[in-house]
Amino acid sequence: MQEPCCLERYPAMTVVLSNLVSLLIYGIGAYILFRISLILTVIYVLFILFLEFRLLGRHCVDCYYYGKTCAFGKGYLSSLLFPRGQPERFNRKKITWKDIVPDFLVFLLPVIAGILLLIQQFSWTVLILIIALVVLGFFGNALVRGKLACRFCKQREIGCPAEQVFDKTKNR
Ligand code: SF4
């Protein structure tokens, strides 16, 4: 099957859908943790902000889409917040599962917290939100990356360490 050609800039609908999945995960996660305590919610939101700024300031600055509209719109956002990095550095980065685990924790921690809430007292709302988090976290992210983002990504064509990690996992 012929590889789809890469996009110089992604359509607005892709940016909306890609961010919608993340924002739904963040919103549901924060709501579940808020049912336990406000402090936990604040820590969770700070953790998300740390991960987003780490991406914008350490990865997007070196990416091909710096200053452009990538599938997440973060290439452009990064150019508003940080000076250009070194494109050749993007490809040299060694990314391992250790670097990716924090992104999984964003939806796994609220799932664990939700299960603890259910053990304490059953609630259909919490159960449905846990199921939604698992679906969005695994299938939603995979769909966005597989069908909307990485598939048309110029940086993937140039070389992307994160894609190599998933590829290795995929080819096992
Ligand atoms: S493709 Fe990924 S690394 Fe590149 S600018 Fe967009 S979010 Fe950042």
Nearest CA owner, ligand 1 atom 5? 75
* Predicted local confidence at residue 76, as pLDDT: 96
Query: Quick one: pLDDT band at residue 171, thresholds 50, 70, 90?
Result: low
**Phi/psi class of residue 65: alpha, beta or left (left: φ > 0; alpha: ψ in -120 to 50)?**
alpha
Q: What residues flank ligand 1, with Cβ below 6 Å?
A: 59-60, 63, 65, 70, 72, 74-75, 155
Cβ contact 69:75 at 8 Å: yes
**pTM for this one?**
0.88
- Say if residue 94's pLDDT is above 90: no
Ligand 1, from 61, 72, 95, 164: best to mutate by most atoms within 8 Å of Cβ?
72
Cβ contact 129:114 at 8 Å: yes
The DSSP code for 137 is: I
Q: State percent of the chain over pLDDT 90.
A: 77
Nearest CA owner, ligand 1 atom 3? 60
In whole angstroms, give the CA distance from residue 96 to residue 39. 31
Position in ligand 1 atom list of the atom nearest CA 66: 5
